């Protein structure tokens, strides 16, 4: 290693001495450096020229492609419009035909039709007489609606407007369709609402998250031969639920049978000026 270092040092010293003391050596070294610089410069210039040419070619190709695409679109615009219309027509038609189903149940207040409105303003409706407690304590009822024995069926605890509409539903179901209706539960206390939510299978709403707490909701079923019929497996009951839902909507109520998680016996009244969230916040703050 020492010998290599000494040799390199000697060579460097001789070179420097030659450059400093011999004009010819200095000139030759300068010329060599200039030659190398010119060669590097020429190569760099050539590469820059090639790069510029490549960019120009890419721009020309892009412009040509865009121009050709525009020409094709202009020449075949009629065919493109026809094809687009054919492809778009089926989904647009489906949306148009199903528009009512898609947007009918968005929480807005449902207005009753004119005939029902006239009945609401012109007739005094009376709640049916209370049923014996054992009607709500059968094995069939317990399987479908557990914890129904201590439910409130007091019509006086319901909102007056909602009570009138619901009694009108009872009247129409009895006189037009031959179905006797029975109130399973109307007003529901916050404590009971929480207990049913924890029980599962009846409701997913906690206290003050249900219209039941404000007397604006009720669960109903049918009476046949003095017995309560709730089961959805009964064809007679299922037809009754459909008629009941249609009638409830006619008098301005919202039917739970339209929900994703269907509740066929449930109806509620989205009373004008009443907002469930606002009422819930007020109720929670005053507990």
Q: Provide the pLDDT for residue 20.
A: 64
Is pLDDT of 18 > 70? no
Q: Does position 252 have pLDDT exceeding 50, yes or no?
A: yes
For residue 88, the model assigns a pLDDT of 67
Cα(33)–Cα(28) distance, rounded to whole angstroms?
A: 9
pLDDT band at 103 (very low <50, low <70, confident <90, very high): very low
Distance separating alpha carbons of residues 237 and 222, to the nearest angstrom:
7
**CA 190 remoteness from chain centre:** 28
Mean pLDDT of 42-69: 76
Structure-token pair, residue 211 = 């219209």
Indicate the pLDDT class of residue 278, thresholds 50, 70 and 90.
very low
Assess whether pLDDT exceeds 60 at residue 226. yes
Say if residue 285's pLDDT is above 70.
no
Q: Where are the alpha helices (DSSP H) in the chain?
A: 2-21, 23-75, 77-97, 99-103, 114-122, 139-144, 160-177, 190-199, 235-250, 276-285
Top-confidence residue, 19 or 24: 24
User: Among the listed ranges 82-86, 135-139, 244-248, which one has the minimum average pLDDT value?
Assistant: 82-86
Residues 165-178 pLDDT 10s? 999 999 999 999 99
pLDDT band at residue 98, thresholds of 50, 70 and 90? very low
Give the chain's end-to-end CA distance (angstroms, integer): 93
Lowest mean pLDDT among 46-50, 117-121, 238-242: 117-121
Report how far residue 95's alpha carbon sits from residue 76's, in angstroms, rounded to the nearest whole number: 29
């Amino acid at each position: 290693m020492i010998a290599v270092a000494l040799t390199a040092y000697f060579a460097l010293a001789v070179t420097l001495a030659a450059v400093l003391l011999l004009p010819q050596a200095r000139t030759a070294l300068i010329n060599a450096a200039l030659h190398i610089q010119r060669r590097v410069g020429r190569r760099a210039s050539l590469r820059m020229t090639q790069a510029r040419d490549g960019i120009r070619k890419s721009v020309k190709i892009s412009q040509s492609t865009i121009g050709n695409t525009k020409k094709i679109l202009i020449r075949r615009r009629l065919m493109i419009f026809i094809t687009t219309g054919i492809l778009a027509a089926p989904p647009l038609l489906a949306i148009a035909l199903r528009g009512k189903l898609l947007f009918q149940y968005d929480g807005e207040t449902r207005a009753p039709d004119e005939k029902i409105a006239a009945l609401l303003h012109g007739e005094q409706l009376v709640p049916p007489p209370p049923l014996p407690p054992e009607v709500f304590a059968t094995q069939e009822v317990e399987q479908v609606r557990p914890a129904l024995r201590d439910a409130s069926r007091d019509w006086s605890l319901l909102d007056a407007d909602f009570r009138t509409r619901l009694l009108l539903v009872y009247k129409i179901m009895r006189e037009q369709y031959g179905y006797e209706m029975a109130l399973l539960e109307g007003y529901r206390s916050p404590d009971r609402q929480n207990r049913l939510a924890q029980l599962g299978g009846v409701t997913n709403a906690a206290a003050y998250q249900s219209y039941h707490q404000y007397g604006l909701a009720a669960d109903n079923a049918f009476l046949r031969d003095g017995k309560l019929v709730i089961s959805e497996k009964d064809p007679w009951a299922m037809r009754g639920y459909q008629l009941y839902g249609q009638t409830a909507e006619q008098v301005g109520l919202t039917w739970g049978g339209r929900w994703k998680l269907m509740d066929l016996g449930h109806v509620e009244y989205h009373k004008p000026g009443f907002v469930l969230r606002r009422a819930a916040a007020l109720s929670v703050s005053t507990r």
